[in-house]
Amino acid sequence: MAMRQTPLTCSGHTRPVVDLAFSGITPYGYFLISACKDGKPMLRQGDTGDWIGTFLGHKGAVWGATLNKDATKAATAAADFTAKVWDAVSGDELMTLAHKHIVKTVDFTQDSNYLLTGGQDKLLRIYDLNKPEAEPKEISGHTSGIKKALWCSEDKQILSADDKTVRLWDHATMTEVKSLNFNMSVSSMEYIPEGEILVITYGRSIAFHSAVSLDPIKSFEAPATINSASLHPEKEFLVAGGEDFKLYKYDYNSGEELESYKGHFGPIHCVRFSPDGELYASGSEDGTLRLWQTVVGKTYGLWKCVLPEEDSGELAKPKISFPETTEEELEEIASENSDSVYSSTPEVKA
């Protein structure tokens, strides 16, 4: 008997959640950051969704957010014409990088020494985080506002997307290598280092390209307009979400739709697999993040599958164990702590 998917709901944001990103796996687990139009990006424990802290300082909607590999730094892109870099352990703001227009996207190099930004002024900027007073390097060539910009090929190249174009750039020469043109707006882009795969969504299409050459690999059509898609680390599955409030899970090799779930109460803006592939997170217009199990019924994080006694004759039922603090209590705590920039990192117990 198939077990029912029961997502974990992470509340706290008051406006649509428009971007999210996971860190790599650290000695303390992995972490999840979310960007929201309420201007208050949040950090959570990645496998449980437990709130750790809120980065306070932006004066406009936050459009992009990311963590470096070991979750020691965070970066955010906002409508207040700034990108900010944060200490993800203490929550302190490390630097504010002024721009001339709305900033939409941020990405760290693997060594966390450089930050790539892009936004409405159509320019890519590369900041040396060890020399914050220095002027950034700028790359021009986009003809409309930049939606996403990512380092790729061990930081030797850059991938960027504007309204209907995806471009590949050489970092050393700061020149364009190749571009892809689409007949409709590109809604998202994900880079998979293992295998150098680029995932692009536009309209109802989910397309896979080589991140090195931009050559097409394969593409799938979904039943609704898709805003975001993510490929499983083992490249077995992909998940996608969009305008019909549903999450779709596909077999990457065959393209077969395996499952679809409706849990959000608004369009889904972003979806990403966790670094271990055990779950995927979605962010929506409804202001919530939801965590979904890749393999339903598996004991993991806050999900606990309780098997019946062998002789009882009952079917196995998945159960979810929740932390002692309810969401309402967490929100109350959050509001009480709203004057502080950040909460302290919780103790990690063995």
Please say whether the beta carbons of 43 and 55 come within 8 A: yes
**What region does 80 belong to: left with phi over 0, alpha with psi -120 to 50, or beta?**
alpha
Higher pLDDT, 35 or 296: 35
Digit-coded pLDDT (tens) for 186-225: 999 999 999 999 999 999 999 999 999 999 999 999 999 9
Band of pLDDT at residue 2, cut at 50, 70 and 90: low
Mean pLDDT, range 179-186, rounded to an integer? 95
Q: What is the pTM of this model?
A: 0.87
Instruction: Flag the least confident range among 36-40, 97-101, 157-161, 330-334.
Output: 330-334
Residue 333 has a pLDDT of 38
> CA 237, CA 173: separation in Å to the nearest integer?
36
Mean pLDDT, range 141-152, rounded to an integer? 96
Nearest to 274 by CA among 33, 18, 55: 33
Residue 323 has a pLDDT of 43
Cα separation values, 186 from 223, 242, 291, Å = 17, 13, 25
Digit-coded pLDDT (tens) for 102-139: 999 999 999 999 999 999 999 999 999 999 889 999 99
Mean pLDDT, range 221-236, rounded to an integer? 96
- Tokens standing for residue 242: 């969009």
Coil, strand or helix: which one is 169? strand
Mean pLDDT, range 277-303, rounded to an integer? 95
> CA 99, CA 93: separation in Å to the nearest integer?
17
Residue 308 has a pLDDT of 62
Domain ranges of the chain: 16-293
Residue 140 has a pLDDT of 95
**Is the pLDDT confidence value at 347 over 50?**
no
Residue 4 has a pLDDT of 85
Residue 268 has a pLDDT of 98
> CA 64, CA 42: separation in Å to the nearest integer?
12
> CA 237, CA 293: separation in Å to the nearest integer?
12
What is 16-293's CATH number? 2.130.10.10
Cα separation values, 159 from 60, 75, 186, 248, 308, Å = 26, 18, 13, 26, 50
Sequence length of the chain is: 350
Mean pLDDT, range 336-341, rounded to an integer? 40
CA 43 to chain centre: 12
**Is the pLDDT confidence value at 313 over 60?**
no
Reported in sequence order, the residue ranges of 193-335 that DSSP labels E, i.e. its strands, are 197-202, 205-210, 216-221, 226-231, 237-242, 246-251, 257-262, 268-273, 279-284, 289-293, 303-306, 317-320
Digit-coded pLDDT (tens) for 250-266: 999 999 999 999 989 99
Residue 212 has a pLDDT of 94
106 phi/psi in degrees, rounded to 5: -140, 145
Residue 309 has a pLDDT of 55
CA 92 to chain centre: 21
